[in-house]
Amino acid sequence: MDATLPPASPILPDFAALPQAPAPVTQLGRTLAADVLKLRRTAALRLTLFSGALPVLLTFCIFFFKGHLIMKAGGDPWPRFISTAWQTAGTLLLPLFVVLLTSLVVNIETKATAWKHLYAQPVGRGAVFVSKLLLVLALNAGALLLFVGLLLGAGALLGLLRPGQGFQTYSIPFGTVGWMLLRTYLATLGLLAVQYIVSLFWRSFVVPVGVGMGAVVATFALLQWEHVSKIPYAAPFLTAMSMQVSKAGVLEAAPEVARHEWYALASFGAVLVAGYLVLYRRNVTN
Amino acid sequence: MQLAPLLETRGLHFHFGKRPILHDVNLRVEPGSIYGFLGPNGAGKSTTMRLLLGLLRPGAGSVHLFGHDMARHRVTLLNRVGALIENPSLYDHLTGRENVEATRRLRGVAAHRTAEVLELVGLADNAHRPAREYSLGMRQRLGLAIALLSNPDLLLLDEPTNGLDPNGIIEMRELLRRLRQEHGKTIVVSSHLINEIEKVATHVGVIQEGRLVFQGSLPDLQRLQTGRARLVLETEDADTCRNLLPRLLAGATVAGAGTLWLPWLSREHTAELAAALTAAGQPLYGLRLEQPSLEDTFLHLTEVKADLVQ
- Domain-terminating residue out of B224, B258, B280: B224
**What was the pLDDT predicted at B49?**
95
Let me know if residue B299 belongs to a domain: no
Q: Chain A: residue nearest B201 by CA?
A: A5
The answer on B264 and B116 residing in a single domain is no
Q: Dihedrals φ, ψ of B304, to 5°?
A: -95, -5
The answer, yes or no, to whether residue A11 has pLDDT greater than 50, is no
- Nearest residue of B to residue A115, measured between CA atoms: B89
Q: What is the helix (H) or strand (E) element at residue B256, kind and residue range? A: strand B253-256
A238 residue type, one letter: L
* Helix (H/G/I), strand (E/B), else coil: A112: coil
CB contact A13 to B (< 8 Å): yes
- Residue B159: inside a domain: yes
Statement to judge: residues B50 and B179 lie in one domain: yes
pLDDT in tens, B7-40: 999 999 999 888 899 999 999 999 999 999 998 8
In this complex, the residue of A2, A9, A120 whose CB is nearest that of residue B83 is A120
Give the residue-averaged pLDDT of B211-219. 90
Query: Nearest-CA distance from B291 to chain A in Å?
Result: 20
- Residue B306 domain flag: no
- Chain B closest-CA separation from residue A211 CA (Å): 26
As a whole number of angstroms, the distance between CA A243 and CA A121 comes to: 47
Instruction: Encode pLDDT of A48-69 as tens digits.
Output: 888 989 999 999 999 999 888 8
Examine the domain organization and report whether B81 and B204 are in the same domain. yes
- Say if B308 falls within a structural domain: no
Helices (H), ranges, chain B? 45-52, 74-78, 96-107, 113-120, 136-148, 166-183, 194-198, 218-226, 238-244, 267-279, 294-304
Q: Which domain holds residue B265?
A: 230-290
B67 touches chain A (CB under 8 A): yes
Selected residue with higher pLDDT from A236 and B167:
A236
Task: Mark yes or no for CB contact A120/B55 under 8 Å.
Answer: yes
Where does a domain end: B196, B224, B252? B224
Do B58 and B107 belong to one domain? yes
**Residue A249 region by backbone torsions, left for phi larger than 0, else alpha for psi between -120 and 50, else beta:** left
Domains in chain B: how many in total? 2
Give the pLDDT band (50/70/90) at residue B221.
confident
B20: how many CB neighbours lie within 10 A of its CB? 14
The CATH number of whichever domain residue B251 belongs to comes to 3.30.70
Q: Do B136 and B256 share a structural domain?
A: no
B224, B252, B281: which is the final residue of a domain?
Answer: B224
Enter the ipTM. Answer: 0.88
Please check whether residue B59 touches A, CB under 8 A. Answer: no
Q: Measured between CB atoms, which of A18, A30, A37 is closest to B101?
A: A37
Range in A38-42, A180-184, A280-284, B176-180 with the lowest mean pLDDT? A280-284
Q: Where does the pLDDT of residue B303 fall: very low under 50, low under 70, confident under 90, or very high at 90 and above?
A: confident
B183 in a structural domain: yes
Asked if residue B242 and residue B130 are part of one domain, the reply reads no
Q: What is the pLDDT of residue A14?
A: 55
Closest CA to B152 of B186, B108, B104, B118: B186
Which residue in chain B has the smallest CA separation from A121? B78
Nearest residue of B to residue A12, measured between CA atoms: B184
Look at A9 and B184 and tell me if their CB atoms are within 8 Å. Answer: yes
What mean pLDDT value characterizes chain A? 89
| pLDDT per position as a tens digit, B129-138 | 999 999 988 9
CATH of the domain at B152: 3.40.50.300
Per the CB < 8 A criterion, the answer to whether A105 and A44 are in contact is yes
B20 and B147, same structural domain? yes
Which of the four pLDDT bands, split at 50, 70 and 90, describes residue B310? very low
- Find the closest chain A residue to B47 by CA distance: A285
How close is the nearest chain A Cα to the Cα of B128, in Å? 14
Quote the minimal CA–CA distance from A116 to chain B in Å.
Answer: 7
Residues in chain A: 286
The model's pLDDT over B141-165, given as tens digits with 9 standing for 90+, comes to 999 999 999 999 999 999 888 878 8
First-last CA distance in chain B: 16
| Residue A42 neighbours by CB under 8 Å, 6+ apart | A104, A108, B93
Contacts of A266 (CB under 8 A, 6+ apart): A190
Query: Is B303 part of any domain?
Result: no
Contact predicate A238/A258, CB 8 Å? yes
Residue B304 pLDDT greater than 90, yes or no: no
Q: In chain B, how long is the greatest CA-to-CA distance?
A: 81
Please indicate whether, in this complex, the C-beta atoms of B6 and A108 are within 8 angstroms of each other: no
Q: What is the pLDDT of residue B226?
A: 63
Does the residue B189 lie in any domain?
Answer: yes
* Mean pLDDT to the nearest integer, B70-87: 92
pLDDT digits (tens, 9 = 90+) for A247-263: 888 888 888 898 999 99
Q: Do A41 and B94 touch (CB under 8 A)?
A: yes
Listed by number, the residues of chain B in 167-196 with a beta carbon closer than 8 Å to a beta carbon of chain A are 180-184, 186
B10 contacts B26 by C-beta, under 8 angstroms: yes
Residues from chain A contacting residue B105 (CB–CB below 8 Å):
30, 33-34, 37
A22 touching B (Cβ < 8 Å): yes
pLDDT of residue A10: 42
Give residue limits of the domains in chain A: 30-280
Residues of A in contact with B218 (CB under 8 A): 2, 5
Interchain CB distance below 8 Å, A9 and B183:
yes
Same domain, B203 and B236: no
pLDDT at B96: 97
Instruction: Identify the pLDDT of residue B69.
Output: 93
Hey, is the C-beta of B49 within 8 angstroms of any chain A C-beta? no
A244 has a chain B CB within 8 A of its CB: no
Window 39-78 of A, Cβ < 8 Å to B: 40-42
CB pairs under 8 A between A and B: 147
**Would you say residue B300 lies in a domain?**
no
Q: Is the pLDDT of residue B2 over 80?
A: no
Q: Which of A20, A14, A224 is nearest to B184 (CA)?
A: A14
Residue B308 pLDDT class (50, 70, 90 cuts): very low
A286 touches chain B (CB under 8 A): no
**φ, ψ (nearest 5 deg) of residue B260:** -120, 140
**Mean of per-residue pLDDT scores for chain B:** 88
Number of H helices, E strands in chain A: 10, 2
CB spacing of B56 vs A37 below 8 angstroms: no
Q: What percent of chain A has pLDDT over 70?
A: 94
* Calpha distance B310→B298 (Å, rounded): 16
SS3 B139: helix
pLDDT, tens digit, 9 for 90 and up, residues B227-252: 677 888 999 988 888 888 888 888 88
A9 pLDDT more than 50: no
Contact yes or no for B181 and A2 at CB 8 A: no
User: Do B234 and B220 sit in the same domain of this protein?
Assistant: no
| Banded model confidence at residue B263, pLDDT cuts 50, 70, 90 | confident
In a mutational test of the A interface, the residue from B52, B66, B69, B106 whose CB has the highest number of chain A CBs within 10 Å is B106
Contact A232, A194 (CB under 8 A): yes
B197: closest CA among B223, B167, B173?
B173
CB contact set of B23 (below 8 Å; sequence gap of 6+): B13, B210, B211
**Main-chain phi, psi angles of B308, to 5 degrees:** -115, 10
Work out the average pLDDT over A4-23: 59
